[in-house]
Amino acid sequence: MDYRIEKDTLGEMRVENDKLWGAQTQRAMENFVIGKKKMPIEIIYGIVTAKKAAAMANCDAGVLTQEKCDLIVRACDEILAGQWDDQFPLRIWQTGSGTQTNMNVNEVIAHRGNQLHGGRLDDATLFLSPNDDVNKSQSTNDIFPTGMRIAATRIILEKTVPAIEKMMETYREKIAEYAEIKKIGRTHLMDATPLTLGQELSGHLSQLEHGLETIRYAMKHLMELPIGGTAVGDGLNTPEGYDKNALNYINKFTGLSFTNTPNKFEAMATHDSMAEMSGALKRLAVSLMKIANDFRLLNSGPRCGFGEIVLPANEPGSSIMPGKVNPTQCEALSQVCCQVIGNDVAISTGAMQGHLQLNVFMPLIGRNLLQSARLLADVINSFNDHCLKGITPNLERIQMHLNNSLMLVTKLSPHIGYYNAAKIAQKAHHDGTTLREAALQLGLVSEKEFDEWMKL
């Protein structure tokens, strides 16, 4: 393997000749061998998007030449097209500001730009400088949080939200289809008064509607970008109007409507907006866990459980019990919910660690939020397509439970009182008879009254 010598402020480092990164990336590769997971490529793309915008804003302000700007933009476009994904080798667990990843991006853009300018990676002098040109008007402290906000926003809007909306539409179809199917309700997992299967599913739909509303509310704060704050939030070394101009370019590139944060000191010293969005995703996960549990219970059996709905038989459920089919999509959904809730704990813990002018838990926060958003999108799509769309009611089982329930006696309470109705239920349960038989034996109602009052 051929190597070249790269230099930074601490001295020389050997870098493989076919790599676009430089000395600081190489140091980080050797100093942070922690875990296996690399910085999410979506965060890399978010940072690159911000750097492309920064170069154009700097050029407009006259602090970066058009030639250098063009080279930076060309290199950024290649990265955003997925051409250089293998040039970002750093792992998640590094400095809490993400400096190593920011410099990795700076070095790759600079070296690729120099190649496009006709230079070689082993040139003694480079036309583009990672710090002075690519990182101009920036600090890791404002560019990394900008990049991770861009990344999180895009995943949530492009993947998570559409998945929720698709699942909601499936629910609307099922609710309409099952609007007239009467079934027994259950509270405390004990028999309760009846409702329709459509009404039962409508509770799930309402959970999703509220979850989506919460996500959309949190999106407003997540989309406030601190670009232009540089080191501590005061915009040191930026030309006048740079932050607004860079933001306009970001919106042009992404097709989204990001805003400048009203207070860059807050947006760099804290990541409350990320914690807020994580909380919104956690709320969704809590709702989805309820949905998964309901389907598991209603499908339980098929003969020795509730058995009121039938889930699609997607695959064999046991390696030893022939014919067994398990609620596997429910179980996958539940596991993702647990992971998202765990991610929220880590994000909350990291977000509360802002000290003075900077929060240094950004890689943790960014990675976990992206994972939550991506996992939720994937599992919602899977559950919708492979479970929810295929559920069918077991009408015979539903009617059997409805007929056997003692809690239908509640309909008699307004006519004969709570305590008399309780006597009927207790006698029917003790004697193993129907409510009608018990009521008539006790002489508390006539046949005509019972049939009229107990109509469903």
CA 192: distance to chain centroid?
35
Rounded distance between C-alpha atoms, residue 280 and residue 217, angstroms: 9
Note if 139 is an active site residue.
no
| 59 half-sphere exposure, CB direction, 13 A CA radius | 17
Between strands 259-260 and 224-225, the pairing is parallel
Rounded distance between C-alpha atoms, residue 303 and residue 281, angstroms: 36
Which of 377, 393, 442 is closest to 166 using CA atoms?
Answer: 377
Rounded distance between C-alpha atoms, residue 349 and residue 370, angstroms: 16
| 45 half-sphere exposure, CB direction, 13 A CA radius | 20
Q: In sequence order, which ranges of 184-308 are alpha helices (DSSP H)? A: 197-222, 242-254, 264-269, 272-299
Question: Beta-strand (E) ranges in 9-47?
Answer: 11-16
All residues at 6 or more sequence positions from 105 whose CB lies less than 8 Å from its CB, including other chains: 44, 47, 48, 51, 88, 134
All residues at 6 or more sequence positions from 363 whose CB lies less than 8 Å from its CB, including other chains: 39, 92, 93, 94, 96, 98, 101
Active-site option among 188, 257, 319, 430: 188
Question: How many separate helices (H) and strands (E) can be counted in the chain?
Answer: 17, 10
Whether 49 contacts 248, CB under 8 Å: no
Rounded distance between C-alpha atoms, residue 215 and residue 43, angstroms: 20
Between strands 354-355 and 358-359, the pairing is antiparallel
Q: Which helix (H) or strand (E) holds 168?
A: helix 161-177
Rounded distance between C-alpha atoms, residue 160 and residue 376, angstroms: 6
Instruction: Give φ, ψ of 448 to 5 degrees.
Output: -65, -45
Structure tokens at 314: 């997607």
Residue with tokens 């601190």: 226
Active-site option among 210, 318, 429, 446: 318
Note if 401 is an active site residue.
no
Rounded distance between C-alpha atoms, residue 184 and residue 310, angstroms: 16
Which of 351, 83, 308 is closest to 197 using CA atoms?
Answer: 308
Which of 142, 115, 167 is closest to 376 using CA atoms?
Answer: 167
Catalytic residues: 188, 318
